Structure 1
Amino acid sequence: MKKFTNLPSDLVYEAALGFAAAHSNLVALNEDPLFVRRKAPNRSKVALISGGGSGHEPLHIGFVGEGMLDAACPGAVFTSPTPNQMLAAARAVASDAGVLFIVKNYAGDVMNFQMAMDMMDIEYASILVNDDVSVDSGGHGPGRRGVAGTVVVEKIVGAAAEQGMDLAACKRLADKVNACTASMGVAFTSCTVPEAGVATFEIGPDEMEVGVGIHGEPGRRRASVRPAAEIVDELMTPILKDVAAKAGDEVLLFVNGLGGTPLLEQYLLYHEAAQRLSREGLEPVRSLVGNYTTSLEMQGASITVTVLNEELKSLWDARAVTPAFKT
């Protein structure tokens, strides 16, 4: 293992110190318990709180700021943050408008967020993001995983909250965005958790994991590496089936790097995915390409499609000023 670390056990904390220093104009760091919040919280609106295991940067701390999250809690690498982190973060940024918790559908996240919510003395609601179509709803633990579609939820609902939408309406909007968003990924390599020091899973030099999770969980199948056009078609078929888009619909097309895939290849994937959308009579009127929900240094990528309407397009275009996302 070759990684930039001092003590692997200190990596998340020391990286958080660096992140907060690098973006001190936008965010502030609470060291104990560990969370990142907006430097100047807007206490007249619904507060959006999210979090998850570290190793997926910029998710979630990179999206703290105007028009997206009010606070985010980083856990240990690939490990849920603790309930006291979430509770402290909520209390630090909440107002009388209430708190919306954005939770990815993983057992640890669901359990710990629920424990935090059970201790809340502020009005709250939550949204469970489960956009990963590589897993059937009843076939893998708690069901479909929350992956790169979480960014779409955080951006659109963050804009709505910034504009003054109330808590119940933010919750309904979040559920709507989640329902019209689907993602699926593929990986050529594993990744190495610093404290483990070994690859998360073994994969051959000519193999790929189709439907991989963002922690290295297995997907639909192990297959031989094929041309990009064929890989994209395999990812897009279940995505388009899930969102049930109709010819003439407008969509957001989001190609997400998992940490080790260069932009050159990500743009190739975008081209192939856009071609597939065109063949289906769908128009990608909004786009996002880059590393937004990573898995440490994993070589791979995911594709996300969100079906849009005029309201969702307007909210996607609304002002956001965060370390990792600006419009």
Structure 2
Amino acid sequence: MKMLINVPESVVPDALRGMAAVHPELVVDVEGRVVRRRDAPVAGKVGLVSGGGSGHEPLHGGFVGPGMLDAACPGEIFTSPVPDQMVRAAAAVDSGAGVLFVVKNYTGDVLNFNMAAELAEDEGIQVASVLVNDDVAVTDSTHTAGRRGTGATLFVEKIAGAVAEAGAPLARVEAVARRVNEASRSFGVALSACSTPSKGGPTFDLPAGELELGVGIHGEPGRERRPMMTSGEIADYAVHAVLDDLHPTGPVLVLVNGAGGTPLLELYGFAAEVHRVLRERGVPVARTLVGNYVTSLDMAGASVTLCQVDDEMLRWWDAPVRTPALRWGC
């Protein structure tokens, strides 16, 4: 495999150095592995901190900025950050109003964020945590007990970030974040395996004529493998899987998310099919976001995330955001 890297061991710090060079509005601690808003802590504001293994960019570092995260903690490729990173991030963004940890449901992330919350509270920082577990494909998997955290992480970070930016107290920000997670479901499909820099090749075997339905963001097995399907057939399967679990009774936010190796040309065509299925099921669409946001390195494929919203949640979604990967209303 050809990769645009120096050596596998320096991929993460090299990327962080690039973020520092390109985004002066961020403070990037390459050695300490923390990315934060330059203006943090913001007086009277709840701090939002998230993180996880690298390889899912722009999640999470690309979502640091006004209206979203205050700090992010990147781990090694597909490896949880360590508690010390999370404590440093919490201390760097805490204004005295408390800090919310947004945690994807993977065993390492959950254990390390829980430990970090205890350590931060020992230092006098009030911490609340919200677990994101939106993937309907499987109940348990290689890295999780319960459902995996995937595309709904973006919805939680954006909407809770807007609430925090408006000056809401920690309990309110936490409650909104939980509400968004509970209203969200996701399903992903892989057309090819991803390749990690350390391995230098595919992390699992997926024959050329097959696809993996329900794949995880680290390449975890899904529900089943089938011969290659059309975009419309994949949308039928994925959207029905989400709707049959979510049972929305109102409009939804839609995220059509690329896995990292799928061009926008294909993603927009897939989005058209997703909208078709939603129309057929009588589900109104409030907003749609299309692009590579929660990725799996170079995996070809896509995921669909739906979040049922009311007028209040939609206002928080539409609120201004200014991050490297997501910005509007500024």
1:222 corresponding residue in structure 2: 225
Is the CA contact 2:106–2:143 (under 8 Å) kept in the aligned structure 1?
no
Q: Is 2:253–2:287's contact at 8 Å kept on the other side of the alignment?
A: yes
1:130 aligns with 2:130: no
Residue of structure 1 equivalent to 2:270: 269
| C-alpha distance in structure 2 between counterparts of 1:141 and 1:178, whole Å | 17
Tell me the equivalent position of 2:195.
192
2:87 aligned with 1:84: no
The 8 Å contact of residues 153 and 177 in structure 1, kept in 2 or not, is answered as yes
- Cα distance, 1:198 vs structure 2: 2.6
Per-residue deviation at 1:227?
A: 1.2
Matching of residue 28 in structure 1 with residue 27 in structure 2: yes
Q: Output the CA distance in 2 between the equivalents of 1:215 and 1:242.
A: 23
Deviation (angstroms), 1:137: 6.0
What is the CA–CA distance in structure 2 between the aligned matches of 1:233 and 1:175, rounded to whole Å?
A: 28
Q: What SS does the corresponding residue of 1:119 show, helix, strand or coil?
A: helix
**What are the superposed Cα offsets for residues 39-76 of structure 1, whole Å, 9 maximum, x if unpaired?**
11123210000000000000000000000000001000
Q: Tell me which residue corresponds to 1:73.
A: 73
Q: Secondary structure at the match of 2:198?
A: coil
Task: Give the TM-score normalised by the residue count of structure 1.
Answer: 0.97
What is the deviation of 1:98? 0.1
Alignment-mate amino acid for residue 153 of structure 2: T
User: Contact 1:132–1:182 at 8 Å: present in 2 too?
Assistant: yes
Look up the match of 2:207: 204
**In structure 2, what is the Cα distance between the partners aligned to 1:302 and 1:223?**
17
Matching residue of 1:280: 281
Deviations 1:137-179 (A, max 9, x none): 6997411000111001000000000001111111111111001
Task: Give ranges in structure 1 of 5+ residues lacking alignment.
Answer: none
Distance 1:297 1:140, change over 3 A: closer
1:295 is matched with which residue?
A: 296
User: Is the contact between residue 179 and residue 243 of structure 1 (CA under 8 Å) also seen in structure 2?
Assistant: no
Instruction: Indicate the SS of the match to 1:183.
Output: strand
Secondary structure of 1:240's aligned partner: helix
Matched, 1:213 2:216: yes
* Aligned pair partner of 2:243 in 216, 220, 240: 240
Greater CA deviation, 228-237 or 67-76? 228-237
Seen in structure 2, the aligned counterparts of structure 1 residues 30 and 156 have a Cα distance that, compared at 3 Å, is same
Task: For 1:170 and 1:243, locate their aligned partners in 2 and report how far apart those are by CA, in whole Å.
Answer: 23
Identify which range, 279-288 or 57-66, moves more after superposition. 279-288
2 CA distance for matches of 1:104 and 1:81? Answer: 12
Q: Secondary structure at the match of 2:21?
A: helix
**Is the deviation greater in 47-56 or in 140-149?**
140-149
Alpha-carbon distance in 2 for matches of 1:316, 1:51: 21
Cα distance, 1:32 vs. partner?
3.0
Aligned-partner residue type, residue 239 of structure 1: V
The CA distance in 1 between the partners of 2:72 and 2:43, in whole Å, is: 16
C-alpha change, 1:137 and 1:14, in structure 2 (3 Å) is closer
Q: Match of 1:251? A: 252
Identity of aligned residues (%): 50
Task: State the SS of the aligned residue for 1:203.
Answer: coil
Q: How many Å separate the matches in 2 of 1:285 and 1:273?
A: 14
1:306 corresponds to 2:318: no
Corresponding residue of 2:325: 324
User: 1-side partners of 2:83 and 2:150: how far apart?
Assistant: 21
1:8 lines up with 2:8 in the alignment: yes
**Partner residue, 1:159:** 162
Secondary structure at the aligned position of 2:201 is classed as coil
For the aligned residue pairs, the C-alpha RMSD in angstroms reads 1.2
Q: CA deviation at 1:118?
A: 1.2
